[in-house]
Amino acid sequence: MTLRPSRWSPVVAALHWINAALILGLLGQGWLMTHAAFEAGTTFDLYQQHKSFGFVVLALTAIRLAARARSAAPPPVAGWEGQLARAVQALFYLVTVLAIGAGWLLVSTSPLPIPTRFFGLFVVPDIAAPDAGVFAGAVSAHRIAVYAIAALVALHVAGTLKHHVVDRDDTLRRITFGRARARRA
């Protein structure tokens, strides 16, 4: 018999909620900056902020994966719902990294090279030379990946709410803060 904590560690939970807020913010801000008609200076600032926060999400995702691997995990959710939840979470990590990689590639290969200044502190190096064909592909890949993230967010939130409101179980509490009790796995 293995004993497991009833919830994730506070570090893993904090990284989950910070990344969730940043990704939701990036989805809204990314949509606004590409669809609304702002002044040129405002659009420029929004793009720079978007790229900087995108790199913050990349760093936090790496830290979160490392923190997850080092912390004791709560018992896995059983049955097909658990399998679906785990598949959605794995896809989240994959698509997030793909979205950020495609974003980095598109700003690197843009025929209109504009340096990415990380919150105005330093220039993020490009990962490829300007190339109109690669740029067009990377723009599409970024768009597909970010809308896949939006769909996964909807699925993830719907599943969590179903557990919390309909089944009234502890699924949501596993990723909230509080005292962890030992559980049999």
The residue within the footprint of ligand HEM, chosen from 13, 77, 107, 152 (CB under 6 A), is: 107
Contact assessment for residue 66 and residue 12, using Cβ atoms and an 8 Å cutoff: no
Task: Provide the token pair at 120.
Answer: 């105005």
To which H or E segment does residue 184 belong?
A: strand 182-184
What is the footprint of ligand HEM within residues 134-153 (CB under 6 A)? 139, 142-143, 146, 149
Q: Minimum distance between the CB of residue 104 and ligand HEM, rounded to whole angstroms?
A: 5
Q: Minimum distance between the CB of residue 139 and ligand HEM, rounded to whole angstroms?
A: 5
Ramachandran class of 72: left when φ > 0, alpha when ψ lies in -120 to 50, beta otherwise: beta
Distance CA 121, CA 127 (A): 19
Rule CB under 6 A: is residue 55 a binding residue for ligand HEM?
Answer: yes
Rule CB under 6 A: is residue 57 a binding residue for ligand HEM?
Answer: yes
CA 33 distance to own-chain centroid: 19
Q: Token match 């018992």: residue? A: 75
Rule CB under 6 A: is residue 27 a binding residue for ligand HEM?
Answer: yes
Rule CB under 6 A: is residue 95 a binding residue for ligand HEM?
Answer: no
Binding site for ligand HEM (CB under 6 A): 23, 26-27, 30-31, 34, 47, 50-51, 54-55, 57, 96, 99-100, 103-104, 106-107, 116, 139, 142-143, 146, 149
